[in-house]
Structure 1
Amino acid sequence: MAEADRQRSVRVGIGVGLPLVAAVALAALLLRLLPADAMGRWRLSPAVVAGVCWAGQLWYVGYGFDSGWPTDGFWRRLLGLANAVTLARGALYAAVAGFVVVPPDTGLAWGPALCYGAGVAFDNLDGTLARTVGRETEVGRRLDMAFDTFGFVAAPLVAVVWGLLPVWYLSLSAARYVFRGLVWLRRARGLPVGDLPDSDLGRYLAGVQMVFVTIALVPPVPTELVWALAPAVLAPSLAVFARDYLAVSGRLPGRS
Protein backbone atom coordinates (compact mmCIF):
# COMPACT_ATOMS: atom_id res chain seq x y z
CA MET A 1 0.00 0.00 0.00
CA ALA A 2 1.32 3.43 -0.93
CA GLU A 3 2.21 5.83 1.86
CA ALA A 4 -0.59 8.21 0.85
CA ASP A 5 -3.11 5.38 1.06
CA ARG A 6 -1.79 4.34 4.46
CA GLN A 7 -2.03 7.93 5.67
CA ARG A 8 -5.64 8.12 4.46
CA SER A 9 -6.50 4.79 6.08
CA VAL A 10 -5.03 5.83 9.42
CA ARG A 11 -6.72 9.24 9.29
CA VAL A 12 -10.14 7.69 8.66
CA GLY A 13 -9.52 5.00 11.26
CA ILE A 14 -8.57 7.31 14.14
CA GLY A 15 -10.83 10.16 13.06
CA VAL A 16 -14.04 8.19 12.45
CA GLY A 17 -13.77 4.46 13.01
CA LEU A 18 -12.08 4.41 16.42
CA PRO A 19 -14.37 7.04 18.03
CA LEU A 20 -17.50 5.26 16.81
CA VAL A 21 -16.39 1.81 17.90
CA ALA A 22 -15.14 3.07 21.26
CA ALA A 23 -18.34 5.05 21.93
CA VAL A 24 -20.58 2.09 21.22
CA ALA A 25 -18.38 -0.24 23.30
CA LEU A 26 -18.28 2.09 26.33
CA ALA A 27 -22.02 2.84 26.18
CA ALA A 28 -22.82 -0.87 25.92
CA LEU A 29 -20.53 -1.69 28.86
CA LEU A 30 -22.06 1.00 31.08
CA LEU A 31 -25.58 -0.07 30.12
CA ARG A 32 -24.70 -3.51 31.44
CA LEU A 33 -23.07 -2.20 34.63
CA LEU A 34 -25.57 0.51 35.56
CA PRO A 35 -29.05 -0.27 36.89
CA ALA A 36 -31.65 -0.79 34.20
CA ASP A 37 -33.56 2.31 35.34
CA ALA A 38 -30.47 4.55 35.47
CA MET A 39 -31.89 7.47 33.53
CA GLY A 40 -30.63 10.96 34.30
CA ARG A 41 -31.87 14.51 33.87
CA TRP A 42 -33.71 15.38 30.67
CA ARG A 43 -34.24 11.64 30.15
CA LEU A 44 -30.62 11.25 29.10
CA SER A 45 -28.85 7.98 29.76
CA PRO A 46 -25.50 8.43 31.53
CA ALA A 47 -24.15 5.55 29.44
CA VAL A 48 -24.99 7.37 26.20
CA VAL A 49 -23.56 10.67 27.50
CA ALA A 50 -20.34 8.86 28.44
CA GLY A 51 -20.14 7.22 25.01
CA VAL A 52 -20.56 10.56 23.24
CA CYS A 53 -17.87 12.15 25.43
CA TRP A 54 -15.54 9.22 24.77
CA ALA A 55 -16.07 9.58 21.03
CA GLY A 56 -15.43 13.32 21.27
CA GLN A 57 -12.11 12.82 23.03
CA LEU A 58 -10.91 10.30 20.46
CA TRP A 59 -12.15 12.42 17.56
CA TYR A 60 -10.14 15.35 18.92
CA VAL A 61 -7.01 13.21 18.98
CA GLY A 62 -7.69 11.91 15.49
CA TYR A 63 -8.50 15.38 14.16
CA GLY A 64 -4.96 16.44 15.01
CA PHE A 65 -3.40 13.52 13.13
CA ASP A 66 -0.25 14.79 11.50
CA SER A 67 0.51 13.54 8.01
CA GLY A 68 4.14 13.37 9.08
CA TRP A 69 3.51 10.70 11.71
CA PRO A 70 4.91 7.30 10.67
CA THR A 71 2.17 4.87 9.64
CA ASP A 72 4.22 1.67 9.76
CA GLY A 73 2.95 -0.27 12.77
CA PHE A 74 0.71 2.67 13.73
CA TRP A 75 -2.14 0.59 15.10
CA ARG A 76 0.21 -1.70 16.99
CA ARG A 77 1.77 1.33 18.70
CA LEU A 78 -1.60 2.94 19.35
CA LEU A 79 -2.96 -0.19 21.01
CA GLY A 80 0.25 -1.00 22.86
CA LEU A 81 0.29 -1.50 26.62
CA ALA A 82 1.09 2.10 27.58
CA ASN A 83 -1.50 3.63 25.27
CA ALA A 84 -4.04 1.00 26.33
CA VAL A 85 -3.71 2.31 29.90
CA THR A 86 -4.08 5.87 28.61
CA LEU A 87 -7.18 4.90 26.62
CA ALA A 88 -8.66 3.23 29.70
CA ARG A 89 -8.07 6.46 31.63
CA GLY A 90 -9.92 8.42 28.98
CA ALA A 91 -12.82 5.97 29.14
CA LEU A 92 -12.98 6.38 32.92
CA TYR A 93 -13.10 10.17 32.57
CA ALA A 94 -15.86 9.82 29.96
CA ALA A 95 -17.78 7.67 32.44
CA VAL A 96 -17.38 10.47 34.99
CA ALA A 97 -18.93 12.90 32.50
CA GLY A 98 -21.97 10.65 32.23
CA PHE A 99 -22.79 11.37 35.87
CA VAL A 100 -23.48 15.02 35.02
CA VAL A 101 -27.03 13.99 34.11
CA VAL A 102 -27.46 11.74 37.19
CA PRO A 103 -29.03 13.21 40.36
CA PRO A 104 -26.66 12.98 43.35
CA ASP A 105 -29.24 11.36 45.64
CA THR A 106 -29.11 7.95 43.93
CA GLY A 107 -27.36 4.66 44.51
CA LEU A 108 -24.70 5.79 42.02
CA ALA A 109 -23.24 8.45 44.34
CA TRP A 110 -19.89 6.65 44.55
CA GLY A 111 -19.56 6.34 40.76
CA PRO A 112 -17.77 9.63 39.94
CA ALA A 113 -15.25 9.27 42.79
CA LEU A 114 -14.42 5.67 41.85
CA CYS A 115 -14.09 6.36 38.12
CA TYR A 116 -12.12 9.57 38.46
CA GLY A 117 -9.98 8.18 41.27
CA ALA A 118 -9.09 5.15 39.13
CA GLY A 119 -8.18 7.44 36.23
CA VAL A 120 -5.96 9.51 38.52
CA ALA A 121 -4.28 6.34 39.79
CA PHE A 122 -3.47 5.39 36.17
CA ASP A 123 -2.11 8.87 35.40
CA ASN A 124 1.58 8.09 35.84
CA LEU A 125 1.34 4.40 34.97
CA ASP A 126 1.03 4.91 31.22
CA GLY A 127 4.12 7.11 31.04
CA THR A 128 6.11 4.66 33.16
CA LEU A 129 5.09 1.78 30.91
CA ALA A 130 6.02 3.75 27.78
CA ARG A 131 9.49 4.45 29.15
CA THR A 132 10.15 0.93 30.44
CA VAL A 133 8.42 -1.70 28.28
CA GLY A 134 7.64 0.37 25.20
CA ARG A 135 8.52 3.79 23.89
CA GLU A 136 7.11 7.27 24.17
CA THR A 137 5.29 8.40 21.03
CA GLU A 138 3.58 11.52 19.75
CA VAL A 139 0.30 9.60 19.66
CA GLY A 140 0.65 8.68 23.34
CA ARG A 141 1.58 12.22 24.29
CA ARG A 142 -1.45 13.64 22.49
CA LEU A 143 -3.77 11.06 24.06
CA ASP A 144 -2.39 11.82 27.52
CA MET A 145 -2.80 15.59 27.13
CA ALA A 146 -6.32 15.32 25.70
CA PHE A 147 -7.53 13.04 28.49
CA ASP A 148 -5.92 15.10 31.25
CA THR A 149 -7.65 18.21 29.93
CA PHE A 150 -10.99 16.45 29.62
CA GLY A 151 -10.70 15.03 33.13
CA PHE A 152 -10.21 18.53 34.50
CA VAL A 153 -13.52 19.46 32.88
CA ALA A 154 -15.63 16.39 33.61
CA ALA A 155 -14.84 15.81 37.28
CA PRO A 156 -15.16 19.42 38.52
CA LEU A 157 -18.35 19.82 36.46
CA VAL A 158 -19.95 16.80 38.14
CA ALA A 159 -18.80 18.09 41.54
CA VAL A 160 -20.35 21.51 40.85
CA VAL A 161 -23.62 20.09 39.50
CA TRP A 162 -23.88 17.85 42.56
CA GLY A 163 -23.15 20.79 44.89
CA LEU A 164 -19.85 19.34 46.10
CA LEU A 165 -17.75 22.27 44.81
CA PRO A 166 -18.61 25.94 44.24
CA VAL A 167 -19.39 26.98 40.69
CA TRP A 168 -16.35 29.26 40.52
CA TYR A 169 -14.14 26.17 40.78
CA LEU A 170 -14.93 25.63 37.09
CA SER A 171 -12.39 28.38 36.43
CA LEU A 172 -9.89 25.53 36.73
CA SER A 173 -11.59 23.79 33.80
CA ALA A 174 -11.61 26.99 31.75
CA ALA A 175 -8.03 28.07 32.54
CA ARG A 176 -6.28 25.79 30.03
CA TYR A 177 -8.65 26.79 27.23
CA VAL A 178 -8.28 30.48 28.06
CA PHE A 179 -4.50 30.11 28.05
CA ARG A 180 -4.47 28.32 24.69
CA GLY A 181 -6.92 30.86 23.26
CA LEU A 182 -4.75 33.79 24.30
CA VAL A 183 -1.66 32.13 22.82
CA TRP A 184 -3.55 31.51 19.58
CA LEU A 185 -4.60 35.17 19.46
CA ARG A 186 -1.00 36.29 19.88
CA ARG A 187 0.11 34.09 17.00
CA ALA A 188 -2.82 35.24 14.86
CA ARG A 189 -1.80 38.86 15.46
CA GLY A 190 1.81 38.09 14.57
CA LEU A 191 3.06 38.65 18.12
CA PRO A 192 5.94 36.57 19.50
CA VAL A 193 5.19 33.55 21.67
CA GLY A 194 7.99 32.50 23.99
CA ASP A 195 8.73 29.25 25.77
CA LEU A 196 7.01 28.07 28.91
CA PRO A 197 9.00 28.36 32.15
CA ASP A 198 11.25 25.40 32.86
CA SER A 199 9.38 24.29 35.96
CA ASP A 200 7.55 21.21 37.22
CA LEU A 201 5.32 23.30 39.48
CA GLY A 202 2.35 23.09 37.12
CA ARG A 203 2.58 19.30 36.97
CA TYR A 204 2.74 19.01 40.76
CA LEU A 205 -0.23 21.32 41.21
CA ALA A 206 -2.18 19.33 38.62
CA GLY A 207 -1.62 16.27 40.78
CA VAL A 208 -2.88 18.16 43.81
CA GLN A 209 -6.00 19.17 41.88
CA MET A 210 -6.67 15.58 40.82
CA VAL A 211 -6.46 14.35 44.40
CA PHE A 212 -8.56 17.20 45.78
CA VAL A 213 -11.34 16.80 43.21
CA THR A 214 -11.38 13.04 43.84
CA ILE A 215 -11.76 13.66 47.58
CA ALA A 216 -14.51 16.20 46.90
CA LEU A 217 -16.44 13.54 44.98
CA VAL A 218 -16.29 10.98 47.81
CA PRO A 219 -19.79 10.94 49.40
CA PRO A 220 -18.78 10.79 53.11
CA VAL A 221 -16.42 13.79 52.87
CA PRO A 222 -18.07 16.88 54.44
CA THR A 223 -19.01 19.34 51.70
CA GLU A 224 -18.50 22.28 54.08
CA LEU A 225 -14.85 21.30 54.53
CA VAL A 226 -14.32 20.93 50.78
CA TRP A 227 -15.81 24.37 50.12
CA ALA A 228 -13.62 25.90 52.82
CA LEU A 229 -10.44 24.42 51.32
CA ALA A 230 -11.35 25.07 47.69
CA PRO A 231 -9.98 28.65 47.42
CA ALA A 232 -6.58 27.68 48.85
CA VAL A 233 -6.32 24.68 46.51
CA LEU A 234 -7.51 26.52 43.39
CA ALA A 235 -5.53 29.77 43.69
CA PRO A 236 -1.99 28.34 43.08
CA SER A 237 -3.11 26.55 39.90
CA LEU A 238 -4.70 29.68 38.46
CA ALA A 239 -1.57 31.64 39.42
CA VAL A 240 0.59 29.18 37.43
CA PHE A 241 -1.59 29.63 34.34
CA ALA A 242 -1.21 33.41 34.72
CA ARG A 243 2.56 33.02 35.16
CA ASP A 244 2.79 30.85 32.05
CA TYR A 245 0.96 33.41 29.94
CA LEU A 246 3.12 36.23 31.24
CA ALA A 247 6.14 34.11 30.35
CA VAL A 248 5.11 33.25 26.77
CA SER A 249 4.04 36.84 26.15
CA GLY A 250 7.42 38.17 27.30
CA ARG A 251 6.06 40.04 30.30
CA LEU A 252 8.22 38.27 32.85
CA PRO A 253 11.72 39.71 33.48
CA GLY A 254 14.37 38.12 31.31
CA ARG A 255 11.85 36.66 28.84
CA SER A 256 10.77 37.76 25.41
Structure 2
Amino acid sequence: QVVGSPVLLLNGRIDISPPNAPENRYHAGTVVTLIPQPDLGFQFAGWDGACVGIGSCSILINQNWDGLTASFKNASLPDWATSTVSVSSELVKSDGDTVIATIFTQDNASPAVTTVNFSLTNPANATEVKQGSTCGSSVSGDVTNRCWNAVFSIPANSNTANQVYKIAASSPSMSNSPEKSLTVEGTTYSLSINGPVVTTNTLSLSGGTLVLSQAPNGMGNKFLAGSQVIITPTPDEGFQFLGWTGDCSGTSSCVVIMSENRSITGMFSSQ
Protein backbone atom coordinates (compact mmCIF):
# COMPACT_ATOMS: atom_id res chain seq x y z
CA GLN A 1 0.00 0.00 0.00
CA VAL A 2 1.41 3.37 -1.07
CA VAL A 3 0.41 6.47 0.86
CA GLY A 4 0.67 9.83 -0.88
CA SER A 5 2.26 10.94 -4.12
CA PRO A 6 5.04 11.80 -4.19
CA VAL A 7 6.52 9.54 -1.55
CA LEU A 8 9.05 11.58 0.41
CA LEU A 9 12.22 9.74 1.41
CA LEU A 10 15.57 10.67 2.89
CA ASN A 11 17.53 12.66 0.24
CA GLY A 12 14.86 12.29 -2.44
CA ARG A 13 11.32 11.38 -3.39
CA ILE A 14 9.44 8.89 -5.55
CA ASP A 15 6.89 10.32 -7.98
CA ILE A 16 4.01 7.98 -8.82
CA SER A 17 2.07 7.85 -12.07
CA PRO A 18 -0.87 7.60 -12.05
CA PRO A 19 -1.40 9.13 -8.59
CA ASN A 20 -3.00 7.10 -5.82
CA ALA A 21 -6.57 5.98 -6.17
CA PRO A 22 -9.07 6.54 -3.35
CA GLU A 23 -8.14 4.82 -0.10
CA ASN A 24 -4.57 4.47 -1.41
CA ARG A 25 -5.40 1.45 -3.52
CA TYR A 26 -5.23 0.67 -7.26
CA HIS A 27 -7.50 -1.46 -9.37
CA ALA A 28 -6.04 -4.81 -10.40
CA GLY A 29 -4.33 -4.59 -13.80
CA THR A 30 -3.23 -0.97 -13.33
CA VAL A 31 0.35 -0.23 -14.42
CA VAL A 32 2.02 2.09 -11.95
CA THR A 33 5.30 3.87 -12.75
CA LEU A 34 7.62 4.86 -9.91
CA ILE A 35 10.01 7.70 -10.77
CA PRO A 36 12.95 8.44 -8.44
CA GLN A 37 13.78 12.14 -8.01
CA PRO A 38 16.97 12.79 -5.99
CA ASP A 39 17.49 15.96 -4.00
CA LEU A 40 20.25 18.35 -5.06
CA GLY A 41 23.62 16.78 -4.40
CA PHE A 42 22.26 13.22 -4.31
CA GLN A 43 21.61 10.46 -6.80
CA PHE A 44 19.33 7.43 -6.85
CA ALA A 45 21.11 4.38 -5.43
CA GLY A 46 18.58 1.78 -6.59
CA TRP A 47 15.61 -0.43 -5.77
CA ASP A 48 15.27 -3.46 -3.56
CA GLY A 49 12.36 -5.85 -4.00
CA ALA A 50 9.95 -5.82 -6.91
CA CYS A 51 12.02 -3.27 -8.86
CA VAL A 52 15.65 -3.40 -9.96
CA GLY A 53 18.15 -0.97 -11.42
CA ILE A 54 18.60 2.77 -10.93
CA GLY A 55 15.90 4.09 -13.24
CA SER A 56 12.15 4.38 -13.23
CA CYS A 57 10.19 1.23 -12.43
CA SER A 58 6.81 0.12 -13.78
CA ILE A 59 4.81 -2.54 -11.94
CA LEU A 60 1.54 -4.27 -12.79
CA ILE A 61 -0.90 -4.22 -9.90
CA ASN A 62 -2.18 -7.80 -9.65
CA GLN A 63 -1.51 -8.40 -5.97
CA ASN A 64 -0.55 -6.53 -2.81
CA TRP A 65 3.04 -5.28 -3.14
CA ASP A 66 5.23 -4.85 -0.13
CA GLY A 67 8.92 -5.00 0.63
CA LEU A 68 9.76 -2.50 -2.15
CA THR A 69 12.39 -0.04 -1.00
CA ALA A 70 14.22 2.83 -2.67
CA SER A 71 17.35 4.63 -1.49
CA PHE A 72 19.44 7.64 -2.43
CA LYS A 73 23.13 8.40 -1.94
CA ASN A 74 25.53 11.30 -2.19
CA ALA A 75 26.16 12.21 -5.81
CA SER A 76 29.74 11.96 -6.94
CA LEU A 77 30.52 14.24 -9.86
CA PRO A 78 30.75 12.28 -13.10
CA ASP A 79 33.93 12.70 -15.11
CA TRP A 80 34.97 12.83 -18.73
CA ALA A 81 37.14 9.73 -18.56
CA THR A 82 35.59 8.44 -21.77
CA SER A 83 35.35 11.84 -23.48
CA THR A 84 38.11 13.97 -24.93
CA VAL A 85 38.37 17.44 -26.33
CA SER A 86 38.52 17.39 -30.12
CA VAL A 87 39.66 20.24 -32.34
CA SER A 88 38.80 20.94 -35.95
CA SER A 89 42.52 20.95 -36.76
CA GLU A 90 45.48 19.74 -34.68
CA LEU A 91 47.94 21.43 -37.05
CA VAL A 92 47.42 25.10 -37.85
CA LYS A 93 49.16 26.90 -40.69
CA SER A 94 51.77 29.50 -39.78
CA ASP A 95 49.61 32.49 -40.73
CA GLY A 96 46.91 31.48 -38.24
CA ASP A 97 43.42 30.01 -38.50
CA THR A 98 40.10 29.49 -36.71
CA VAL A 99 39.78 26.35 -34.59
CA ILE A 100 36.60 24.80 -33.15
CA ALA A 101 36.96 22.90 -29.86
CA THR A 102 34.28 20.29 -29.05
CA ILE A 103 33.48 17.90 -26.21
CA PHE A 104 30.60 15.52 -25.51
CA THR A 105 29.40 15.09 -21.94
CA GLN A 106 27.91 11.85 -20.74
CA ASP A 107 26.18 12.15 -17.40
CA ASN A 108 23.09 11.13 -15.52
CA ALA A 109 20.34 13.60 -14.74
CA SER A 110 21.89 14.62 -11.41
CA PRO A 111 23.98 16.65 -11.48
CA ALA A 112 23.20 17.87 -14.99
CA VAL A 113 25.94 19.61 -16.97
CA THR A 114 24.56 23.07 -17.67
CA THR A 115 27.79 24.98 -18.29
CA VAL A 116 31.03 24.10 -20.05
CA ASN A 117 33.98 26.46 -20.38
CA PHE A 118 36.84 26.12 -22.85
CA SER A 119 40.24 27.68 -22.21
CA LEU A 120 42.97 28.33 -24.77
CA THR A 121 46.49 28.61 -23.35
CA ASN A 122 49.18 30.02 -25.65
CA PRO A 123 52.94 29.28 -25.54
CA ALA A 124 53.42 32.24 -23.15
CA ASN A 125 50.90 30.65 -20.72
CA ALA A 126 48.32 33.40 -21.29
CA THR A 127 44.80 31.96 -21.22
CA GLU A 128 41.64 32.94 -23.06
CA VAL A 129 38.37 31.49 -21.68
CA LYS A 130 35.12 31.11 -23.60
CA GLN A 131 31.80 29.67 -22.48
CA GLY A 132 30.84 26.68 -24.59
CA SER A 133 27.71 26.66 -26.72
CA THR A 134 25.46 23.62 -26.99
CA CYS A 135 25.64 21.81 -30.32
CA GLY A 136 23.06 19.09 -29.83
CA SER A 137 22.02 16.40 -27.34
CA SER A 138 20.58 12.90 -27.19
CA VAL A 139 19.22 10.65 -24.43
CA SER A 140 19.99 6.96 -24.05
CA GLY A 141 18.30 5.40 -21.04
CA ASP A 142 19.33 7.36 -17.96
CA VAL A 143 22.30 8.99 -19.73
CA THR A 144 22.15 12.35 -21.46
CA ASN A 145 24.77 13.00 -24.14
CA ARG A 146 25.44 16.66 -24.84
CA CYS A 147 27.65 18.39 -27.37
CA TRP A 148 29.48 21.60 -26.44
CA ASN A 149 31.86 23.71 -28.52
CA ALA A 150 33.66 27.04 -28.74
CA VAL A 151 35.48 28.88 -31.53
CA PHE A 152 38.99 30.29 -31.08
CA SER A 153 41.07 32.43 -33.43
CA ILE A 154 44.68 31.22 -33.50
CA PRO A 155 47.12 34.03 -34.37
CA ALA A 156 49.92 33.76 -36.89
CA ASN A 157 53.24 32.31 -35.79
CA SER A 158 56.08 34.61 -36.79
CA ASN A 159 58.72 32.31 -35.30
CA THR A 160 60.73 29.73 -37.18
CA ALA A 161 59.87 26.98 -34.68
CA ASN A 162 56.43 25.45 -34.17
CA GLN A 163 54.23 26.73 -31.35
CA VAL A 164 52.05 24.52 -29.15
CA TYR A 165 48.69 25.66 -27.75
CA LYS A 166 46.51 23.83 -25.23
CA ILE A 167 42.70 23.77 -25.18
CA ALA A 168 40.96 22.45 -22.04
CA ALA A 169 37.30 21.93 -21.10
CA SER A 170 35.92 22.36 -17.60
CA SER A 171 32.55 22.42 -15.83
CA PRO A 172 31.38 22.83 -12.22
CA SER A 173 29.43 19.59 -12.75
CA MET A 174 32.46 17.56 -13.84
CA SER A 175 35.38 16.36 -11.77
CA ASN A 176 38.21 16.71 -14.29
CA SER A 177 39.34 18.91 -17.17
CA PRO A 178 40.25 17.09 -20.41
CA GLU A 179 42.62 18.94 -22.68
CA LYS A 180 43.97 18.82 -26.23
CA SER A 181 47.12 20.24 -27.81
CA LEU A 182 47.37 21.84 -31.21
CA THR A 183 50.43 22.97 -33.11
CA VAL A 184 50.89 26.16 -35.09
CA GLU A 185 53.63 25.50 -37.57
CA GLY A 186 56.59 27.84 -37.85
CA THR A 187 57.63 29.84 -40.89
CA THR A 188 57.29 27.99 -44.18
CA TYR A 189 58.60 28.61 -47.69
CA SER A 190 57.68 27.36 -51.14
CA LEU A 191 59.98 25.66 -53.65
CA SER A 192 59.22 26.19 -57.34
CA ILE A 193 60.89 24.00 -59.96
CA ASN A 194 60.53 24.88 -63.62
CA GLY A 195 57.64 27.16 -62.73
CA PRO A 196 55.10 25.34 -60.54
CA VAL A 197 55.39 24.94 -56.76
CA VAL A 198 56.41 21.35 -55.97
CA THR A 199 53.82 19.19 -54.20
CA THR A 200 55.59 15.79 -54.22
CA ASN A 201 59.14 14.48 -54.13
CA THR A 202 59.23 13.57 -57.84
CA LEU A 203 58.99 15.85 -60.86
CA SER A 204 58.90 14.41 -64.39
CA LEU A 205 60.30 16.67 -67.13
CA SER A 206 60.94 16.26 -70.80
CA GLY A 207 64.10 14.12 -70.96
CA GLY A 208 64.37 13.17 -67.30
CA THR A 209 63.20 13.20 -63.72
CA LEU A 210 64.05 15.35 -60.71
CA VAL A 211 63.88 13.50 -57.38
CA LEU A 212 63.66 15.46 -54.11
CA SER A 213 64.97 14.05 -50.84
CA GLN A 214 61.64 14.95 -49.23
CA ALA A 215 58.20 16.20 -50.16
CA PRO A 216 56.92 19.47 -48.66
CA ASN A 217 56.78 18.93 -44.88
CA GLY A 218 54.60 21.94 -44.05
CA MET A 219 51.03 22.89 -44.80
CA GLY A 220 49.98 24.26 -48.17
CA ASN A 221 52.77 22.45 -50.08
CA LYS A 222 55.47 24.41 -48.29
CA PHE A 223 58.65 23.47 -46.47
CA LEU A 224 59.34 24.34 -42.85
CA ALA A 225 62.04 26.97 -42.45
CA GLY A 226 65.51 25.42 -42.30
CA SER A 227 64.54 22.25 -44.17
CA GLN A 228 67.28 20.83 -46.38
CA VAL A 229 66.12 19.55 -49.76
CA ILE A 230 68.44 17.62 -52.08
CA ILE A 231 67.33 17.55 -55.72
CA THR A 232 68.85 14.85 -57.89
CA PRO A 233 68.50 14.89 -61.71
CA THR A 234 68.06 11.52 -63.47
CA PRO A 235 68.19 11.73 -67.32
CA ASP A 236 66.12 9.39 -69.45
CA GLU A 237 67.97 7.10 -71.85
CA GLY A 238 69.50 9.15 -74.64
CA PHE A 239 69.35 12.39 -72.64
CA GLN A 240 71.72 14.37 -70.45
CA PHE A 241 71.27 16.92 -67.72
CA LEU A 242 72.40 20.36 -68.85
CA GLY A 243 72.36 22.07 -65.46
CA TRP A 244 70.54 24.41 -63.08
CA THR A 245 69.57 28.05 -63.06
CA GLY A 246 68.00 30.12 -60.30
CA ASP A 247 68.76 29.08 -56.70
CA CYS A 248 70.90 26.13 -57.89
CA SER A 249 73.92 25.91 -60.18
CA GLY A 250 76.13 23.26 -61.73
CA THR A 251 75.20 19.92 -63.24
CA SER A 252 75.09 17.61 -60.18
CA SER A 253 72.61 17.25 -57.33
CA CYS A 254 71.45 20.53 -55.82
CA VAL A 255 71.20 21.17 -52.07
CA VAL A 256 68.69 23.83 -51.07
CA ILE A 257 68.19 25.23 -47.56
CA MET A 258 64.68 26.58 -47.22
CA SER A 259 65.38 29.95 -45.61
CA GLU A 260 63.20 31.78 -48.13
CA ASN A 261 60.99 31.01 -51.12
CA ARG A 262 63.15 29.24 -53.70
CA SER A 263 62.86 29.00 -57.49
CA ILE A 264 64.91 26.56 -59.56
CA THR A 265 65.02 25.49 -63.21
CA GLY A 266 66.60 22.22 -64.39
CA MET A 267 67.02 21.32 -68.07
CA PHE A 268 67.60 18.07 -69.95
CA SER A 269 68.61 17.69 -73.63
CA SER A 270 69.09 14.83 -76.02
CA GLN A 271 72.64 13.60 -76.49
Q: TM-score range by the shorter chain?
A: under 0.3
Return the structure number with greater helix share.
Answer: 1
Greater RCO between the two (CA within 8 Å, min separation 6)? Answer: 1
- TM (norm. structure 2) is 0.20
- TM (norm. structure 1) is 0.21
